[in-house]
Every structure is written in C-alpha cells, then in structure tokens.
C-alpha cells in the first residue's frame, strides 16, 4: 500500500476569518515544512453559498477518495458548531464507507453547551460513532469529554501560531515607556455575541486614562459603535477592522495590554498571538481560556461584569512590570507550529 494520505477537512484557511481558519493555516504551513503529503478539502467559505459550497466539496472528496482508494486515507475533520458538525458528520459517514479513517478535532466553544443537555449528549454520541480518534485543544476539554463518558482516549494538542506570528516571540520586545496615565488597550475578535467587546467598552467611563483599539469586524459592529457613542467614549475607541499581518502586528505592538473577556472561546488564538508580541493579557476565566492565560502571562477575572474587568485592568496597569514579556517565553515553549504539528501527524499515523 502506498504512503498514507491525510485529508485536512474544514473551513477555508485564507478566505474565512476566525480562529479555526487561522489554526488551519498554521497546520498547513507546518505540513509543508515537514514534507507530509496532504490534500485540503474546504467545506465552508464565509463569502460563498453554504450548501452549494459544501456539496461541491463533498463531491470533490468522494472523487479524490476513489482515486486514492488503494492508499491508507486519514480524514482529519475540524469541527465548529452544529452546522459545521453536520457537514463533518456527512463527510465522516461517507469516507468511512469508502474505507477511510476519521479524526475528529473539536474547536467549538459551544461543545460545552451540548454536553449539558440530553439531546446534545445524544447528538455528540452519534456524531462520534464514525471517529477513530479525537483531538481537543486544551486539557480542560479532555477532562470534560472524558467525565461525560464521550471518549476514552483523547489527544490534547494546543493550537499553533502561523510561522510569521511565532517568529515574533523570538524577537526582542520594542522598548517603549509605559505611562499608567495614558494606557492603550487592544482587543481582537469577530464582532459576535460572547466575545466581551461590549464589556471592555463599558469599562472606559470608569477608566479616563485608558484608550481602546479594536481589531476585527462582524455583525455587531454598529451596536458596538453606538455603545461607545452613548457612553461618551467614542473619542477613545478606534475600530480598525481586519488588518493585514504587518498592520495587525503594529497595532498590537502600539498597545500596552491585550484585553478580551470572552465567554465564547474554545482556545483563543488571539491570546497567544498577543503573547508572542510581549503583551500582558486581561481575560475572563472561561474554562479553556485559563489553560492559555496562566497567572504569569496575565490576569483572568472570575465574574463577568464591568466592575471586575475594570479592577483587573487597573491591577494590570499598576503591576505591568511583573509580566515583562513573559508571554514570549510561554509561546516559544508551548506553541511552536512545527512541534505541535509533528505531534498531530504522529498521532494520526500511528
């Protein structure tokens, strides 16, 4: 039998915004660097019709599978929320019928909600039936799935940074004078429910020495702009949109603190991206986020409200020297794309 072929199946890695696409881009770069053959099947694209795009991908997958029917074929499925899981379940059933192996890689923060209902648990058990192996992104998720009896053996592999971003961790932090009377926060996310951007804006009336830069875009942009205007802080909030890598790096480096009190994250690639540039983090202690934002790289709040977030920002401002680019070392030690991808490949092929 010829060398095994790995199919990477998930959302488009360059034409779709968000954490999963960023992670897939990093994995693909590392596959190429390691010389590991793979075929990419894009099942979703933000700018294309969802159903037709998926059907086209499904036929492409079947055709490629039949063409390589004599090879060992491993389908690495990257799963978001329900619609994404539905697409991947169809793929899983199809490729199992064609003699393939299925690896389920969970990315969605809504997975926790599914485990808290009878229907959700039933659906997850059915969804996992075709799976040969399961991958999660932090120890918190492994504990959850095993405690719920959904899986017995799960691999934990952190999401890697793309090489360009990872290289920042090896660079010295640009020297700048920190002024606690003129502090710049930066947040980066899709503008959707649960990301906590509204909460950051709500702290600004109580923090007259703080400005905010927001990188990203999404359906809630008008609401966030209106909120900043209604609170009288619009002159201290700058909405930058999605930025190209070089401009994004400059925007992050110009800030003092990365702040994102998200309750909707399965991992939080934006946190390690900020850490690679030496920024201390303020976040919400939301399950898996605590696995990423450890005490030596940032502060996490246990109560998701304005008062606690405001206090955390003030504490960080008064003690920022304690963090002194600790995130860079954390990124180098734990988020190397080559090392993490090698762990995945070894697990997939064994």
Q: Tell me what the pLDDT averaged over the chain comes to.
A: 93
Strand partners, 259: 282
Query: Residue 7: phi, psi to the nearest 5?
Result: -100, 125
Cβ pair 71, 39 in contact under 8 A? no
H or E segment and range at residue 76: strand 73-79
Token output for 6: 């790995």
Full-model pTM: 0.89
Strand-strand pairing, 237-241 and 183-188:
unpaired
Least confident of 16-20, 34-38, 184-188, 315-319: 16-20
Contacts (Cβ under 8 Å, ≥6 apart) of 121: 114, 115, 148, 150
Which of 329, 178, 171, 191 is closest to 249 using CA atoms? Answer: 171
Cβ pair 104, 79 in contact under 8 A? yes
User: How far apart are alpha carbons 170 and 328 in whole angstroms?
Assistant: 7
pLDDT value, residue 15:
56
- Helix runs in the chain, H state only: 19-34, 50-67, 82-97, 111-114, 118-128, 139-147, 163-168, 197-203, 221-230, 245-253, 269-276, 289-292, 306-318, 326-334, 337-349
User: Can you tell me the mean pLDDT for 205-211?
Assistant: 97
Question: In the predicted model, is pLDDT for residue 4 greater than 60?
Answer: yes
Question: In the predicted model, is pLDDT for residue 17 greater than 70?
Answer: no
Rg (CA), the chain: 21
User: How far apart are alpha carbons 40 and 27 in whole angstroms?
Assistant: 11
Confidence at 1, pLDDT banded by 50, 70, 90: very low
**3-state SS, one letter per residue, for 93-112:** HHHHHCCCEEEEEECCCCHH
pLDDT value, residue 49:
65
User: Can you tell me the mean pLDDT for 319-336?
Assistant: 93
pLDDT value, residue 245:
86
For residue range 245-278, what is the model confidence (pLDDT) as tens digits?
Answer: 889 999 999 999 999 999 988 898 999 999 999 9
Residue written as token pair 């169809």: 90
Cβ pair 104, 133 in contact under 8 A? yes
Question: In the predicted model, is pLDDT for residue 110 greater than 80?
Answer: yes
User: How far apart are alpha carbons 92 and 243 in whole angstroms?
Assistant: 35
Question: In the predicted model, is pLDDT for residue 217 greater than 50?
Answer: yes
List the Cα angle 175/180/186 in 5-degree steps: 70
Confidence at 16, pLDDT banded by 50, 70, 90: low
User: How far apart are alpha carbons 165 and 19 in whole angstroms?
Assistant: 14
Question: In the predicted model, is pLDDT for residue 13 greater than 80?
Answer: no
Longest dimension (CA), the chain: 67
For residue range 144-180, what is the model confidence (pLDDT) as tens digits?
Answer: 999 999 987 899 999 999 899 999 999 988 777 899 9
Cα–Cα distances in angstroms (integers) from residue 23 to residues 52, 165, 168, 274, 305, in the given order: 24, 12, 17, 15, 30
């Amino acid at each position: 039998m010829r060398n095994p072929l790995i199919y990477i199946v998930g959302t488009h890695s360059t034409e779709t915004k968000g954490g999963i696409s960023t992670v897939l881009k990093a994995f693909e770069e590392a596959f190429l660097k390691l010389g590991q053959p793979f075929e990419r099947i894009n099942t979703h694209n933000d700018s294309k019709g969802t159903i037709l795009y998926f059907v086209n991908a499904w036929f492409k997958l079947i055709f490629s599978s039949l063409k390589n029917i004599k090879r060992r074929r491993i389908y690495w499925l990257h799963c978001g929320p329900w619609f994404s899981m539905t697409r991947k379940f169809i793929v899983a059933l199809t490729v199992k019928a064609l003699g393939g192996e299925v690896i389920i890689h969970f990315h969605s923060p809504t997975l926790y909600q599914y485990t808290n209902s009878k229907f959700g648990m039933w659906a997850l058990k059915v969804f996992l039936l075709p799976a040969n192996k399961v991958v999660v992104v932090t120890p918190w998720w492994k504990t959850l799935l095993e405690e719920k009896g959904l899986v017995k053996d799960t691999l934990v592999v952190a999401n890697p940074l793309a090489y360009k971003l990872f290289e920042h961790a090896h660079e010295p932090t640009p020297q700048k004078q920190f002024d606690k009377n003129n502090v710049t926060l930066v947040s980066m996310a899709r503008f959707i429910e649960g990301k906590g951007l509204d909460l950051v804006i709500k702290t600004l009336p109580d923090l007259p020495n703080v400005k905010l830069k927001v990188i990203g875009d999404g359906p809630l942009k008008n609401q966030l702009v209106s909120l900043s205007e209604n609170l009288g802080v619009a002159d201290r909030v700058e909405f930058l949109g999605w930025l190209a890598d070089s401009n994004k790096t400059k925007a992050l480096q110009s800030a003092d603190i990365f702040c994102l009190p998200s309750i909707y994250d399965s991992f939080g690639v934006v946190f390690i991206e900020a850490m690679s540039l030496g920024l201390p983090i303020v976040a919400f202690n939301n399950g898996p986020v605590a696995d990423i934002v450890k005490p030596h790289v940032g502060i996490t709040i246990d109560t998701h409200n304005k008062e606690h977030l405001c206090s955390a920002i003030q504490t960080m401002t008064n003690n920022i020297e304690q963090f002194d680019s600790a995130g860079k070392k954390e990124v180098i030690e734990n988020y190397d794309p080559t090392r993490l991808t090698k762990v995945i490949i070894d697990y997939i092929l064994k």
